[in-house]
Every structure is written in C-alpha cells, then in structure tokens.
C-alpha cells in the first residue's frame, strides 16, 4: 500500500468511528481529532519498527497525514 493510501486509510478509520460516535454531520474538529489519533498510532509504530525501511515508511505516512 502506498504512503498516501495508508495515511488516508488510517485517518478515515478514526474519522468514521468519531463521526458515528459524536454526530452524523461532517466536522473539521472531528477530522483534526482523527488525524491526531492516526499520528499517535503511527508514532507508536515508528517506535516499534525494527528496520530502517519500516521506519522510513511510517515516517512518510505521518508526513502525509499531516498534509491531509
């Protein structure tokens, strides 16, 4: 999966859960919360990365999440 696809997938998974828990309407605040949750997950994965390739991949995913 590309870095761009993975970043969107992570944020959308969190956003979908937040959206249906808090309200059914789109909210910029909920989107930002979803991005922050995704970044926390990626930070954890970066700490657990055992190879430089894996670390680079997750770093790039984090960068893409921040751009969303």
The DSSP letter of residue 16 is H
- Phi/psi of residue 49, nearest 5 degrees: -65, 135
d(CA 24, CA 27): 9
Q: How far is CA 58 from CA 22, 27, 29, 37, in A?
A: 29, 27, 24, 14
- The per-residue pLDDT string of the chain (68 residues; one tens digit each, 9 = 90 and over) reads 999 999 999 999 998 888 766 666 667 788 899 999 999 999 999 999 989 999 999 999 999 999 99
Note whether 3 and 61 are within 8 A (CB): yes
Give the SS3 label for residue 1: coil
């Amino acid at each position: 999966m590309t870095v761009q696809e993975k970043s969107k997938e992570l944020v959308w998974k969190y956003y979908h859960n937040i959206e249906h828990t808090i309200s059914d309407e789109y909210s910029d605040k909920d989107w930002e919360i979803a991005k922050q949750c995704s970044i926390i997950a990626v930070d954890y994965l970066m700490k657990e990365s055992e190879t430089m390739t894996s670390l680079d991949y997750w770093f790039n995913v984090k960068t893409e999440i921040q751009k969303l």
